[in-house]
Amino acid sequence: MTMATILEVFERYLGEYLKAPKQRKTEILSTVCELTGLHRKAAIRKFRVLQFRFISQPDRRGRPVVYTPDVTAALKDI
């Protein structure tokens, strides 16, 4: 199973998983683990990562690039 397919499975169950009570989450995890072949704890972590990825997606990682006016002028000359 490819990572793209696994991601599709997780995205399919993500909304239901986040809204479900504990007993239903257990059933969803069992289904996802059976389909993907992942361990339960890995599936829980994957749902957690996807939850926060859809809530806030940063534009870029790392420090912002800041150029002073003299650097910008030199780059324009080049």
Say what the pLDDT of residue 66 is. Answer: 84
- Give a yes or no: residue 75 inside a domain: no
User: By percentage, how much of the chain surpasses pLDDT 70?
Assistant: 91
- Give a yes or no: residue 22 inside a domain: yes
- Give a yes or no: residue 74 inside a domain: no
- Give a yes or no: residue 24 inside a domain: yes
- Give a yes or no: residue 66 inside a domain: no
Say what the pLDDT of residue 52 is. Answer: 84
Say what the pLDDT of residue 26 is. Answer: 95
- Give a yes or no: residue 78 inside a domain: no
Distance from C-alpha of 14 to C-alpha of 47, rounded to nearest angstrom: 7
pLDDT tens across 11-39, in order?
A: 999 999 999 999 999 999 999 999 999 99
Q: Greater confidence, 19 or 55?
A: 19
- Give a yes or no: residue 67 inside a domain: no
What sign does the CA torsion over 17, 23, 28, 34 have?
positive
Domain extent, residue 31, equals 3-55
What total number of domains does the chain contain?
A: 1
- Give a yes or no: residue 70 inside a domain: no
Measure Cα distances from 38 to 25, 29, 69, 78 in Å: 16, 10, 52, 52
